[in-house]
Chains A and B, each alone.
Chain A
Amino acid sequence: MTRFSAFSLFAKALGGHQGWPEQWPDAAPRPAYDAIIVGAGGHGLGAAYYLAKKYGITNVAVIEKGWLGGGNTGRNTTIIRSNYLYDESAHLYDHALKLWDGLSQELNYNTMYSKRGVMMLAHNVHDIQSFKRHIHANRLNGVDNEWLSAEEAKAYCPPLNIAPEARYPVLGAALQRRGGTARHDTVAWGYARAAAALGVDIIQNCAVTGIRRGLDGAVEGVETTRGFIASKRIGVSAAGHSSVIMQMAGLEFPLESYPLQALVSEPVKPVFPCVVMSNTVHAYMSQSDKGELVIGAGTDQYVSYSQRGALHIVEHTLAAICEIFPIFRRMRMLRSWGGIVDVTPDRSPILGKTPVKGLYVNCGWGTGGFKATPGAGDLLAYTMARDEPHPINAPFNLDRFRTGRLIDEAAAAAVAH
């Protein structure tokens, strides 16, 4: 693996950046592996990397239907935060947040993780009460989160309109300073490169068409469009298509898949210093290093795999953005797209073992999986290596829908992630 350094970048710059070698090989499937990960997004590649790096299983394949990082990893709005209400969620997301720190150094690849702060706006009395409850709960769990007055929020994010006569008056905000953004593509590429260097095969354009199970019910491998691949351990990290894959193993899951949209504006000079979310009017926004305003819209109301959403969803979000940030009213939008998010009834992920021996799952991240990328990868790898969940992801088991021990962030964490 090429080791990136200031010197190597400078040396290659002198040559016009010609001659950079391929960062990871495009592998062809071998007949058998010690472990298979289905889905080469950030979560799946992360799991493969940690399996090889921390848990000593290097004979691993990551199988991807399309191209690497082409699903929700490349389609999200890159918001990173951990200010969730319930203890289980706070531990889960903060585990990921701690791994984001130092990830660029660990992978020797710049993930552009920027702790620019995530600010959530309160527009009414209910928001204030709810956010203050979150702040207190977060502090008890060692997660930073603080209350800002409207004036302090304006000082932190100058484009904000805090006029009392505004359509959506800002009464205050909750700020997580450790929150921020990262460059989504580089997270997938960084993990892919580091995993490949440890011996992991990354197999693209290879769709899983079936899961083969033995007489004892345990998994024996996956049928794919490029032939059968044997493995006693299969981890599924397939986001919106998780329930489709699970049905191949005969499992019905508590998941529904919805289109979620995002869009970016034309690139402009730095004008927006942080991430702002408004759950009440359903809008969230940040500015990428390239200069585009990155805007997240809502999900469509119906189940779909079409990877595109309706225009009125985008219009609704943009109307709210224009009210909260009047300076962007004449901004032109450049691109919009959709991804398919798998949503659980309690809006918390399912991460752990399944009733099928040797089959592990990481799904149900709904509209907010990107922030958890390193944590989800690490915990899926741990669960696959030890055949038991880590204490952090143990509460996020599939059985909670039978026992009723839900982790109900559906209302607590509000709509947007």
Chain B
Amino acid sequence: MLLIHCPYCDEQRAELEFAYAGQAHIARPADPAAMSDEDWRDYLFIRANPRGRHHERWRHIHGCGRFFNAVRDTVSDKFEVTYKAGEPRR
């Protein structure tokens, strides 16, 4: 089980308190009507899925309830850093 640092609560807590919420920093389309089918495919379905550094969202669902971002190594599962939503990509 992962140990995850919530940047809002500033505490290291067990994974059971958190819900994974997919790849981070995927921007919603600013003008959906102007999107081509390829744009929609990329936005909805294409994911980085890297072997290594992964930017991802977590939600402290059994804590403060807030979304935050994290960088984790997908081979070692070790977290590099967690940071608040809205902060620039690390």
Q: Give A residues with C-beta under 8 Å from B.
A: 241, 243-244, 252-257, 301-306, 310-312, 345, 401-404
Given the interface pairs A306-B74, A306-B77, A312-B1, the reply to whether A402 lies near B38 with Cβ below 8 Å is yes
- In the complex, chain A residues whose CB is within 8 Å of the CB of B62: none
- In the complex, chain B residues whose CB is within 8 Å of the CB of A345: 44-45
What are 23 A-to-B residue pairs whose CB atoms are below 8 Å? A241-B51, A243-B49, A244-B50, A244-B51, A252-B46, A252-B48, A253-B46, A254-B41, A254-B47, A255-B47, A301-B19, A302-B77, A303-B49, A303-B54, A303-B56, A304-B75, A305-B51, A305-B74, A312-B1, A312-B15, A345-B44, A402-B37, A403-B37
Chain A CB within 10 Å, residue with most, of B42, B46, B56: B46
Chain A CB within 10 Å, residue with most, of B1, B2, B45, B56: B45
Q: How far is the CB of B50 from chain A (nearest CB, A)?
A: 8
Give the number of residues in B that approach A within 8 Å (Cβ atoms): 27
Residue of B16, B23, B76, B77 touching A312 (CB-CB under 8 A) = B16
Contact with A along B45-73 (1 / 0, CB 8 A): 11111110010100000000000000010
Contact with A along B1-45 (1 / 0, CB 8 A): 110000000000001100110010000000000000110111011
Q: Which residue of A lies closest to B45 (CB)?
A: A254
Q: Give B residues with C-beta under 8 Å from A.
A: 1-2, 15-16, 19-20, 23, 37-38, 40-42, 44-51, 54, 56, 72, 74-77
Q: Which residue of A lies closest to B18 (CB)?
A: A301
Q: How far is the CB of A245 from chain B (nearest CB, A)?
A: 10
- In the complex, chain B residues whose CB is within 8 Å of the CB of A311: 1
Q: Which residue of A lies closest to B36 (CB)?
A: A402
Q: Which residue of A lies closest to B77 (CB)?
A: A306
Tell me the bound Cα distance from A171 to B89 in angstroms.
Answer: 50
Residue of A301, A305, A401 touching B45 (CB-CB under 8 A) = A401
Tell me the bound Cα distance from A312 to B72 in angstroms.
Answer: 20
Tell me the bound Cα distance from A403 to B56 in angstroms.
Answer: 27
Tell me the bound Cα distance from A263 to B51 in angstroms.
Answer: 25
Tell me the bound Cα distance from A305 to B73 in angstroms.
Answer: 9
A401 near B41 with CB under 8 A, answer yes
- In the complex, chain A residues whose CB is within 8 Å of the CB of B15: 310, 312
- In the complex, chain A residues whose CB is within 8 Å of the CB of B49: 243-244, 253, 255-257, 303
Tell me the bound Cα distance from A185 to B31 in angstroms.
Answer: 51
Tell me the bound Cα distance from A345 to B42 in angstroms.
Answer: 12
Given the interface pairs A302-B72, A305-B51, the reply to whether A310 lies near B2 with Cβ below 8 Å is yes
Closest 8 CB pairs of A and B: A254-B45, A301-B20, A243-B49, A310-B1, A402-B41, A302-B20, A401-B45, A401-B41
A302 near B56 with CB under 8 A, answer yes
- In the complex, chain A residues whose CB is within 8 Å of the CB of B47: 243, 254-256
Q: Which residue of B lies closest to A252 (CB)?
A: B46
Q: Which residue of B lies closest to A304 (CB)?
A: B74
Q: Which residue of A lies closest to B70 (CB)?
A: A302
